Amino acid sequence: MVSVSEATQILNSVSFKLMVQTIRLEEADQCVLAEEIRSDRDLPPFNRVAMDGVALASKTFKKDHLFTIEATQPAGSPQLKLQDPANCIKVMTGAMLPENTDTVIPFEETTIESNRVRINLDHVPAGLNIHKQGADSKKDDLLLPTGQLISPAEVAMLASVGKPEIKVFEFPKTAIISTGDELVDVHETPKPYQVRRSNTYALQAAMKKMGWHASRFHVADNKDLIRSNLSQCLNQNDILILSGGVSKGEYDFIPSVLHELGIHKLFHNISQRPGKPFWFGVSNDHRKVVFALPGNPVSTFLNFYRYVKPWMYKQMGITEKPKWAILASDFNFQPKLTYFLQVKVQNEQGQWRAYPIPGGGSGDFVNLNLVDGFLELPLEKTDFKAGEVFPFLPFR
Amino acid sequence: MVSVSEATQILNSVSFKLMVQTIRLEEADQCVLAEEIRSDRDLPPFNRVAMDGVALASKTFKKDHLFTIEATQPAGSPQLKLQDPANCIKVMTGAMLPENTDTVIPFEETTIESNRVRINLDHVPAGLNIHKQGADSKKDDLLLPTGQLISPAEVAMLASVGKPEIKVFEFPKTAIISTGDELVDVHETPKPYQVRRSNTYALQAAMKKMGWHASRFHVADNKDLIRSNLSQCLNQNDILILSGGVSKGEYDFIPSVLHELGIHKLFHNISQRPGKPFWFGVSNDHRKVVFALPGNPVSTFLNFYRYVKPWMYKQMGITEKPKWAILASDFNFQPKLTYFLQVKVQNEQGQWRAYPIPGGGSGDFVNLNLVDGFLELPLEKTDFKAGEVFPFLPFR
């Protein structure tokens, strides 16, 4: 048995070499960059007009002067040049600022009289409504580091610097395997003593959200079948995520079979509730990694979000900062275990307040639909008071 | 010009009839339920053994009594019956509780001597380690309502109640269209006065994350071309999201062309920064909806997350509660506009503190990569003090 922090340390000590793949920008959201992204030009690449209006030379500005419009500078056209400093050039948002001008007066501040413009301002300083070349970043500046999780904001950036394809980390080949003779598939009608499988579907959905695709398998509680199936899965995959068969039951063959197949146990059992009988092991060469999670639905769910997901992201260079929430009402938990309390979290005036909805135990997956995540209550304490702050693990 | 709250009200008044589609459970994450989900049986469906151990009749318990093991009740097998109340039955997690037993003692609390068991406890009440039939929900209970956004927790539920296929709302056919002669595509090398398109890629990524698939188009700043392209897009789509061409520039043809095509303006210009020139309109029959967003990258981005996404979700029955964050340092904004301040948010002891990183204006998309969302500062005020709480719009 290890503690939650020991389990975390052991997981952190196991690193796994990821491959890099090239994908289209349209597929990039939620992927993790495996290359640095630098500007190929200054951003903006030129002194860019930021509002529709007229560009002029500020030093020639005089109140009530009528500026003759020499020309129009649209966006997407070569730079024009103001010929006479007493004139002006109409400019459109996104255009290059014309040569010999240094300020842009928006149409809202002007009165246009045929081909002449009156500026309805007393003073006109230089630099109005110009988005200066290089103001946001310079050519060759680092814009996005390796290990950056890509969201739509980063997609905009990648498009701007001309990356129709990008290098991202590839998720390893992974199989999700459930065991348990009581389990039938979703489309089947269970007998009175059976239930339908749900863990492998939930795990697959949680992983797909990260861009991590895995196949689903189910194996009966028979040691020979488990051995042959796990052996085959290990040949065809780098990572196995198992659900069930790791507890103290007579049909819990997973640990011994994994040992026979050359997967060495790094820990079995974490001093936590739910999800205590978690078994974790690797092959000698660290090329095969096995997360054998207990099969109760809440246990599987918690262990995935608390251990498996952060481990995978860590391989890509992402360490998420801990989140915190404020316990909203007193709670008591006696056993000497870290307790992952199911909570509904409300944002109240900028504070994350966590309302306990403990549910009916690790088999009660109905409760998961009522909550937003788990509050991690340390094993050193038994009485937890409203107002105390604890790490919060969201899953929505 | 309308205020932010007027714009929101106008958007809320436009409803759009969505179609319903049937999808596979494996595709369900991030979809929105278009049917109610009820239990097809009690959950759990039987008195379910919650730990590996022995089941016995609590009223016959005597300290130091040796219980003979009559049989083993595995998970996934028909219910056994205890023949002699002085005996016990070995039970595995997930099994049916045997008839004539009412409590389960985990192996950890027993000493097993060949076929007999000693219970290392002084008292054994009824009901230990049993997950009672119907404890989580009863047959026909409403488990998930129409309009539920599906996350992995709901996937587990849907699997458990036997839904290999589910009904979800279908996103309407949608086109994303950029205009602007200064824009070239991502794989092209821009001339000195050109920049690459980024808005349509960012919009497409933000929508894809919701499961909303849209095609991307670009049209030059030419009124006839815009008219013919928008007309075709309106024939083939129900929703258009435009980027650019809605400001006061001489090439901003979008509003007049949309009017010619029978799309009636419901508002143009919101008293906000960035993103003021937002134009919104619908066809007479409300079957075509057009969001014409200003083309500056930060403006497009803000307007999508503040208006378009909530509008779409509202059609599916989802109204997200406002989130709040605490301004971390004083900020000043003079114009009589609602200001959407770009902020980096930190979770500090359960408090969401928002650090202003205003950036270089609505053209500065580099800044979007440094922040987590927008703090909505109301137009009634100009001085915003550290510690004050404002609505927060996250985009990560």
Shortest Cα–Cα distance, A229 to chain B (Å):
20
Ranges of residues in chain A with a pLDDT under 70 are none
> In this complex, which of A25, A137, A363 lies closest to B48 when CB atoms are compared?
A363
Chain B positions touching A48 (Cβ under 8 A) are 363
Subunit contact B198:A157, Cβ cutoff 8 A: yes
Hey, which CATH number is domain B4-18+171-315, 3.40.640.10, 1.10.10.10, 3.40.980.10, 3.40.630.10? 3.40.980.10
Closest C-alpha among B287, B279, B274 to residue B393: B274
**Domain B323-394 carries which CATH code?**
2.40.340.10
Shortest Cα–Cα distance, B6 to chain A (Å):
23
User: What are the two backbone dihedrals, phi and then psi, of residue B341, each rounded to the nearest 5 degrees?
Assistant: -80, 130
Subunit contact A193:B295, Cβ cutoff 8 A: no
Exposure class string for B72-111: b at 16+ Cβ within 10 A, else e: bbbbbbeebebeeebbbbbbbbbbbbbebbbbbbbbebbe
Subunit contact A192:B250, Cβ cutoff 8 A: no
> In this complex, which of A26, A143, A347 lies closest to B324 when CB atoms are compared?
A347
Q: Which two tokens stand for residue B130?
A: 């049993």
User: What are the two backbone dihedrals, phi and then psi, of residue B43, each rounded to the nearest 5 degrees?
Assistant: -125, 115
Intra-chain end-to-end CA distance of chain B, in Å: 30
> In this complex, which of B180, B204, B367 lies closest to A76 when CB atoms are compared?
B180
> What pLDDT is attached to residue A363?
83
Which of A132, A160, A176, A372 best probes binding to B when mutated, by most B CB atoms within 10 angstroms?
A160
> What pLDDT is attached to residue B248?
78
> In this complex, which of A75, A77, A159 lies closest to B198 when CB atoms are compared?
A159
Shortest Cα–Cα distance, A285 to chain B (Å):
33
Our CA angle for A14, A18, A21, nearest 5°, is 165
> What pLDDT is attached to residue A252?
85
Subunit contact A205:B76, Cβ cutoff 8 A: no
Map out the domains of chain A as residue ranges: 4-16+171-315, 21-43+136-169, 48-131, 323-394
Which positions ≥6 away from B145 have C-beta within 8 Å? B33, B36
Query: What is the second-level CATH architecture of the domain A48-131?
Result: Beta Complex (2.170)
> What pLDDT is attached to residue B376?
98
> What pLDDT is attached to residue B23?
98
> In this complex, which of A155, A194, A202 lies closest to B201 when CB atoms are compared?
A155
Q: Which two tokens stand for residue A317?
A: 């260079």
Q: What is the pTM of this model?
A: 0.95
> What pLDDT is attached to residue B364?
87
Interface A-B, measured as beta-carbon pairs within 8 A, has a size of 333
Shortest Cα–Cα distance, B160 to chain A (Å):
5
Which of B168, B193, B309, B326 best probes binding to A when mutated, by most A CB atoms within 10 angstroms?
B193
User: What are the two backbone dihedrals, phi and then psi, of residue B151, each rounded to the nearest 5 degrees?
Assistant: -120, 175
CATH homologous superfamily for B23-39+140-169?
A: Molybdopterin biosynthesis moea protein, domain 2 (3.90.105.10)
Chain A positions touching B191 (Cβ under 8 A) are 78
> What pLDDT is attached to residue A335?
96
Chain B positions touching A386 (Cβ under 8 A) are none
Chain B positions touching A348 (Cβ under 8 A) are 324
> In this complex, which of B51, B74, B182 lies closest to A76 when CB atoms are compared?
B182
Which positions ≥6 away from A234 have C-beta within 8 Å? A240, A261, A263, A288, A290
Q: Which fold has domain A4-16+171-315?
A: Molybdenum Cofactor Biosythetic Enzyme; Chain A (3.40.980)
Burial of A244 by CB count in 10 Å (0-12 exposed, 13-18 middle, 19+ buried)?
buried
**Helix-helix angle A152-160:B199-209, to 10 degrees:** 150
> What pLDDT is attached to residue A360?
86
DSSP SS3 for B11: helix
Tens digit of pLDDT at every position of chain B (396 positions): 999 999 999 999 999 999 999 999 999 999 999 999 999 999 999 999 998 999 999 999 998 899 999 999 999 999 999 999 999 999 999 999 999 999 999 999 999 998 999 999 999 999 999 999 999 999 999 999 999 999 999 999 999 999 999 999 999 999 999 999 999 999 999 999 999 999 999 999 999 999 999 999 999 999 999 999 999 999 999 999 999 988 877 878 999 999 999 999 999 999 999 999 999 999 999 999 999 999 999 999 999 999 999 999 999 999 988 999 999 999 999 999 999 999 999 999 999 999 999 998 888 889 999 999 999 999 999 999 999 999 999 999
Closest C-alpha among B110, B128, B118 to residue B51: B128
> What pLDDT is attached to residue A362?
84
Hey, which CATH number is domain A21-43+136-169, 3.10.350.10, 3.40.50.2300, 3.90.105.10, 3.30.420.40? 3.90.105.10
> What pLDDT is attached to residue A320?
86
Task: Tell me the one-letter amino acid at B31.
Answer: C
> What pLDDT is attached to residue B63?
87
> What pLDDT is attached to residue B360?
86
Query: Predicted ipTM?
Result: 0.95
- Asked if residue B44 has a cis previous peptide bond (ω within 30° of 0), the answer is yes
Which of B186, B204, B271, B308 best probes binding to A when mutated, by most A CB atoms within 10 angstroms?
B186
Which positions ≥6 away from B63 have C-beta within 8 Å? B119, B121, B122
Shortest Cα–Cα distance, B284 to chain A (Å):
31
> In this complex, which of A188, A197, A324 lies closest to B347 when CB atoms are compared?
A324
Which of A1, A182, A221, A342 best probes binding to B when mutated, by most B CB atoms within 10 angstroms?
A182
